[in-house]
Amino acid sequence: MIAQVKEQFHKLFGKEPIIVSSPGRINLIGEHTDYNEGFVLPAAIDKKIIYAIALNGTDTCNAYALFNHEKVSFSLKNIQPAQGWINYLLGVVHELQQLGHAVKGFDCVITGDIPIGAGMSSSAAVEGGLAVGLDHLLHLGLTRMQMAKIGQLAEHHFPGVKCGIMDQFANLHGKKDRVMLLDCRSLEFQYFPFEFSKDYKIVLVNSMVHHSLASSEYNVRRAQCEEGVKILQQFYPGIHSLRDVTPAQVEQHKDKLPAKVYDRCLYVTQENERVQLACAHLQKNELKEAGKLMYASHDGLSKLYEVSCMELDFLADLAKEREEVAGARMMGGGFGGCTINLVKQDQVEGFVSFVQSRYKERFGQIPDVYVTSIEDGTTVKER
């Protein structure tokens, strides 16, 4: 991919770029907790967006995407939301300008192998790659957390997805063979060794359902959680978000909460507890115990948070039938995308064959499968 973007960049722009490698992410457990100021356990992976990028000495930004052979340009003087992938670039540039940084015109070519709509956060990889590239070229001196916040605000203000900070954080802070426990309120984080990489592989199975509902329903879920907090504040004035609430407290006031709001609040509070329990199990090398929490997470996402679909539920149920799988669940915003499965390394082939065969019988198509590894976050590769 690096050779491809460099070759295309030389053809289009006739100069030497820097190369930026920006990964997708997995999330072991902790879904839809980030915008509720809760806990998540993500990691960067070996699926990436690759940039070739250089300044051009003008007030215009030019971008070419190898994945759809589309070239777009925009002026730095009047940045407005647009349609498609360019929105993520526009958003990052706009947020940098809002912070008072003098962004200069640039040329870039982008490619990647993060499957779109599979829940591996290709959008955060596009945002993080551009932020790191511009920080490097313009000597902005931004911290990784500042760049994560820029990516998050870009997503809020341009595509209009009111996401939490997990995707951008994982993209920029990833470390090889480490998962990261992130406190989405304080933004404090801790690395945990993923000691199982020799015995287990992280296998993502794509439901092949594009999560077209995810953006709109994401915002609906966020509003429902905020509604729950307002109601619960009548009984617990000191709370600011569902992070401050226990499942027992949600259950105690079930009769005061609309049914759907109750379900959403119960899921989030239970999921926060599961994330912290999972970290305790990982520290003790208890992968099977952490895996049970992943299955419980999926059940909550399906039944209480209602962001799954029959294809994802089918894949999670298939995983439960297999002894070589320590744990599995849907991953990402929902309504499609992938399940994440922890599979014994020497039995990955058999698992993949089983899942693809059964899925084809049920849904008439063979799901894509990605065997991934945990890698470093966004890096500048220079030339």
Number of Cβ within 10 Å of residue 252's Cβ equals: 12
- Identify how many contiguous H helices and E strands the chain contains and give both numbers: 11, 13
Q: Mark whether 183 is an active-site residue.
A: no
- CA-angle at 226, arms to 222 and 231, nearest 5°: 150
Question: CB under 8 Å to 3, separation ≥6 — which residues?
Answer: none
Enumerate residues 6+ apart whose C-beta is below 8 A from 250.
228, 232, 257, 262, 265, 266, 269
Task: Kindly name the residue from 167, 244, 263, 313 that is annotated as catalytic.
Answer: 167
Q: How large is the C-alpha radius of gyration of the chain?
A: 21
Two tokens at 2?
């690096």
Q: Are 172 and 42 in contact (CB under 8 A)?
A: no
User: What stretch of H or E contains 164?
Assistant: none
CB 156 within 8 A of CB 356: no
- Residues tagged active-site: 167
